[in-house]
Chains A and B, each alone.
Chain A
Amino acid sequence: MAEKKTSKVMQERDMQKVSSVQKIEKIIVQTALYLFLGIIAIIVLFPFYWMLISSVKSLTEYNLPVPTLFPKQMIFRNYIDAFSTANLGTLFTNTVYVGVVSTLLSLVITVLSAFAFARLEFKGKNALFGALLATMMIPGELFTITNYSTVNDFGWMNTYTVLIVPFLVSVFYIYLLKQNFMQIPNELYLAAKVDGTSDLKYLWKVMIPLSLPTLISITILKMMGAWNSYVWPNLVANDDAHLLITNGLRGADFTVDDMVNYPVQMAAVAIVSFPLFLVFVFLRKYIMKGVSRSGIKG
């Protein structure tokens, strides 16, 4: 009896020991995790920080042999210089115009096509949809070669049309929206038909409100696409009147006295990045949803 008792006490003591060892281990592991993630977070954020502090430094301060991590003197004039040097005003208007028009048209086309694929019955529907999905495998560069001569033949060089029309149809967006439309029960459609609702009204009053999150995701991605597009505009529209923001930024000459004025350049980069930050802060949820939904199909 006595033996048993002591062994039980010992066991309890061992258990305590084990649990305190576990506690210490847990604290160490958690600290290491936060340390690691903290360092990565700093690495991720540093370029943005560097962009912001450089954009308000004087050129002299920027070129100090040992760079300062916080500007001694904030020169906001850099932003005004950036605006005029890179002609950002025109670039902004051009890009917003192209972005808004192509987003609106693209939404209309995507909604109509997704509706046809999701709700209407017609011959060859599955074959057509399969063919559309297959085109997603082909790298876009393959289309660009011919599209370059096509738009040239159409006489579209250096117009807004050339920046908008060729990319209005996105098979991916049609796919995304079709999946969303299919989740809406068919009975809603039949109910609306019995009540004499036209297809377009049903689309507008029922399907679009119910798929709003997806439509918002598409809108954001499309607008960001216009803002970030570089290759195609660089090929087909590089006159001043139709220059888009990324091309303008990359092509702008920030040289002063044979030296690149980095602070002004960084100010320009900051201005171009600013709308994207706003989108990120307020609409992050939709972007992450859209991006990760595209991930699920893999």
Chain B
Amino acid sequence: MKVELRNLTKIFPSRNKKVGGEVIAVNDFTFTIPDGTLVGLLGPSGCGKSTTLYMISGLQKPSSGQIFFGEEDVTELSPENRGVGLVFQNYALYPHMTVKQNIMFPLQNLKGADKLTKDQMLERALEAAKLVQIDDLMDRKPSELSGGQQQRVAIARALVKMPRVLLLDEPLSNLDARLRLQTREEIRRIQKETGITTVFVTHDQEEAMSISDMIVVMKTGIVQQVGKPQDIYDDPTNLFVAKFLGTPPINVFKGNVAGGKLYIGGAAVLDVPGVSDRDVTVGIRPEGFNLDENGALVCELSNVEVMGRDISIVSKNEASLNPVIRSIINSDSKIDATAKTVKYSLKPHKVFIFDAKTEERIHF
């Protein structure tokens, strides 16, 4: 099922009554989620990603704009009539019901032609449980399950009524690191197997990058960029997106462009033909550095960390806006860890320049 958001806007009255006014949680969001894809809504807390998810589910009504499932306008439909499955951050399993009762619960609400017999419900519940591999836990209570198992039950409960769209709110945030890795593969597998259009919300860029077909990066209610994870990483539209994606994070420098050359701290580090003279902010991905005896970017060497396949070099530079510069170099390269300085040349496609004021990307 294709999901289309048209000019979606959500305005809340300000919580601080004395100040009054309004808070724009989501501002003019337009986006089409292609059928059968897994889309990650990514952004820091308070960026409006959860509000967007809740609007798709119908739990919150948009202040303006429309939502389409396929060709059907569902903007005015209440949650139960939209055919969505929603998995909550804390799973929201009913504590007094067994796993089986929890999964069957949504089916008992079906009315009219959709009404199922008890056996059909059991069958569907078992099917969903098998899909998330918890069919041997059916008679347990939620309190007797691990966090990962509870998560699976919550997904099974969302899937059992065969929703048109599956929505996941921070699905991994309550799990420990090891389970998180395992569960995100699991979510990917389930989504592939069922082919259900899935939207999930996360503040963890790594999580979003690793499993999404598409990522929507949001900030203060405004969509910053939409695209495939790799495309966004390779071609961010502004400084915020560049900074938000990537581990280790992108290295940011103060710089300026003069005569078609990019200067960082007085050194001409790169040719940027066609960019007019101005102050800029420069972002360089950790893998964008070459060790180069003749390199123009000279940094004070702090530390060399060998990580097997790669070497991570920590260095400092006056012009850097981050406390340290972190570069990742192939371990074939040789570096003298006792040296005082390190010299870099740059890979042009890993260097992004942004207007110092607007923080918008300047292409070169």
A binds B: yes
- What is A's interface to B at a CB cutoff of 8 Å? 185, 187-188, 190-198, 201, 205-206, 209-210
Shortest distance between the CB of A43 and any CB in chain B (Å): 43
Chain A residues with CB under 8 Å of B89's CB are 187
Are B86 and A196 neighbours in the complex by a CB distance under 8 Å? no
Name A201's closest neighbour in chain B (CB-CB): B109
Taking a contact as CB atoms closer than 8 A, the residue among B84, B91, B110 that contacts A194 in the complex is: B84
- What is B's interface to A at a CB cutoff of 8 Å? 57-59, 78-81, 84-86, 88-92, 94-96, 105-106, 109-110, 157, 161
Give the CA-CA distance A144 to B85 in the complex, in Å.
53
Q: What 16 new A-B contacts, CB under 8 Å, besides A187-B90, A187-B92?
A: A187-B91, A188-B92, A188-B94, A190-B59, A190-B92, A192-B105, A194-B59, A195-B80, A195-B109, A196-B106, A196-B109, A197-B80, A197-B106, A205-B94, A206-B96, A209-B96
Are B96 and A210 neighbours in the complex by a CB distance under 8 Å? yes
Give the CA-CA distance A37 to B79 in the complex, in Å.
61
Give the CA-CA distance A198 to B161 in the complex, in Å.
16
Name B92's closest neighbour in chain A (CB-CB): A187
Given the contacts A190-B59, A210-B95, A210-B96, A197 and B109 also touching, CB distance less than 8 Å: yes
Shortest distance between the CB of A223 and any CB in chain B (Å): 25
Shortest distance between the CB of B78 and any CB in chain A (Å): 8
Chain B residues with CB under 8 Å of A192's CB are 105
Can you list 22 pairs linking A and B with CB atoms under 8 Å apart? A185-B92, A187-B89, A187-B90, A187-B92, A188-B92, A190-B59, A190-B88, A190-B92, A191-B86, A193-B59, A193-B78, A193-B80, A194-B57, A194-B58, A194-B59, A194-B79, A194-B86, A196-B80, A197-B80, A197-B106, A201-B109, A206-B94
* Interface SS, B side: loop
Are B81 and A195 neighbours in the complex by a CB distance under 8 Å? no
Name A189's closest neighbour in chain B (CB-CB): B92
Taking a contact as CB atoms closer than 8 A, the residue among A185, A196, A209 that contacts B90 in the complex is: A185
Are B109 and A194 neighbours in the complex by a CB distance under 8 Å? no
Count A/B pairs, Cβ under 8 Å: 55
Chain B residues with CB under 8 Å of A185's CB are 90, 92
Q: What are the 4 tightest A-B residue pairs by CB atom distance, in nearest-first order?
A: A196-B80, A187-B92, A195-B106, A191-B92
Give the CA-CA distance A205 to B94 in the complex, in Å.
10
Chain A residues with CB under 8 Å of B110's CB are 196
Given the contacts A190-B59, A190-B86, A195 and B92 also touching, CB distance less than 8 Å: no
Give the CA-CA distance A222 to B89 in the complex, in Å.
39
Shortest distance between the CB of A23 and any CB in chain B (Å): 45
Are B96 and A187 neighbours in the complex by a CB distance under 8 Å? no
Give the CA-CA distance A38 to B81 in the complex, in Å.
66
Name A206's closest neighbour in chain B (CB-CB): B94
Give the CA-CA distance A82 to B12 in the complex, in Å.
69
Name B91's closest neighbour in chain A (CB-CB): A187
Name B110's closest neighbour in chain A (CB-CB): A196
Chain B residues with CB under 8 Å of A195's CB are 80, 105-106, 109, 157, 161
Give the CA-CA distance A30 to B59 in the complex, in Å.
62
Chain A residues with CB under 8 Å of B86's CB are 190-191, 194
Chain A residues with CB under 8 Å of B95's CB are 210
Give the CA-CA distance A209 to B96 in the complex, in Å.
7
Chain B residues with CB under 8 Å of A198's CB are 109
Chain A residues with CB under 8 Å of B84's CB are 194
Are B90 and A194 neighbours in the complex by a CB distance under 8 Å? no
Shortest distance between the CB of B86 and any CB in chain A (Å): 5
Are B94 and A194 neighbours in the complex by a CB distance under 8 Å? no
Chain B residues with CB under 8 Å of A205's CB are 94, 105
Shortest distance between the CB of B36 and any CB in chain A (Å): 21
Chain A residues with CB under 8 Å of B59's CB are 190, 193-194
Taking a contact as CB atoms closer than 8 A, the residue among A188, A196, A206, A210 that contacts B79 in the complex is: A196
Name B88's closest neighbour in chain A (CB-CB): A187
Chain A residues with CB under 8 Å of B157's CB are 191, 195
Give the CA-CA distance A149 to B167 in the complex, in Å.
59
Name A188's closest neighbour in chain B (CB-CB): B92
Name A198's closest neighbour in chain B (CB-CB): B109
Chain B residues with CB under 8 Å of A191's CB are 86, 88, 92, 157
Give the CA-CA distance A205 to B58 in the complex, in Å.
22
Chain B residues with CB under 8 Å of A197's CB are 80, 105-106, 109
Give the CA-CA distance A195 to B102 in the complex, in Å.
11
Give the CA-CA distance A198 to B84 in the complex, in Å.
16
Are A196 and B92 neighbours in the complex by a CB distance under 8 Å? no
Shortest distance between the CB of A248 and any CB in chain B (Å): 42
Name B154's closest neighbour in chain A (CB-CB): A191
Shortest distance between the CB of A25 and any CB in chain B (Å): 46
Name A212's closest neighbour in chain B (CB-CB): B96
Give the CA-CA distance A232 to B84 in the complex, in Å.
55
Give the CA-CA distance A190 to B57 in the complex, in Å.
10
Name A184's closest neighbour in chain B (CB-CB): B95
Give the CA-CA distance A198 to B78 in the complex, in Å.
11
Name B90's closest neighbour in chain A (CB-CB): A187
Shortest distance between the CB of A63 and any CB in chain B (Å): 58
Chain B residues with CB under 8 Å of A194's CB are 57-59, 79-80, 84-86
Shortest distance between the CB of B131 and any CB in chain A (Å): 18
Are A193 and B79 neighbours in the complex by a CB distance under 8 Å? yes
Chain B residues with CB under 8 Å of A188's CB are 92, 94
Shortest distance between the CB of A269 and any CB in chain B (Å): 42
Of A188, A190, A192, A195, the most chain B CB neighbours within 10 A belong to A195
Shortest distance between the CB of B87 and any CB in chain A (Å): 9
Of B78, B91, B109, the most chain A CB neighbours within 10 A belong to B109
